[in-house]
Amino acid sequence: MKDLDTLSVAVACDHAGYELKEEIKQYFAEKLFELKDFGTFSTDSVDYPDMIHPMAAEINAGKFDFGIAICGTGNGVSMVANKYRNIRAALCWKNEIALLARKHNDANIISLPARFISLAEAEIMIESFLTTDFEGGRHSARVNKISNVTNL
């Protein structure tokens, strides 16, 4: 199990996820070693790829341990983040899914559907996600096959 105060985490959202992102930042600001916000910085309409690409690129390059991506449904941000070879973004809407995304899939970005979860649910899922270890074992070969596609 990981300690929150040793982790570097990136966060990004679109306009639909802005309010949840800001609340999450407040909750986790003093618990994490580093928390970098890639935007957006208001509820003004934006295109989520503009925030998610820079965040995912830095996680992909190993500059952050984890990421939190938020939009209305969580789907769009997941789709963008998963374009990167070393990213495994998991759409989570309940804690058990967040736990299994880490344990079985070694997910490194949690994608949240701001329109469908509460702040309390988000906080629980994020904390579980960030502190849960990948089980490895039988899951390792499966996870390795995610990024090892040669015919792209």
Q: Helices in the chain by DSSP H: which ranges?
A: 18-28, 49-60, 75-81, 95-105, 119-131, 138-147
Share of the chain above pLDDT 90, in %: 81
Q: Is the CATH code 3.40.50.300 the one for domain 4-145?
A: no
How far is 104 from 120, CA to CA, in rounded Å? 24
Q: Which residues are catalytic?
A: 71, 104
The whole-number pLDDT of residue 5 equals 87
What's the average model confidence in pLDDT over 62-91? 97
pLDDT at 147 over 90: no
User: Taking 70 as the threshold, does the pLDDT of residue 17 lie above it?
Assistant: yes
d(C-alpha 69, C-alpha 110), whole Å: 6
Please state the rounded mean pLDDT for residues 97-121.
98
The model's confidence at residue 145, banded by pLDDT at 50, 70 and 90, is: confident
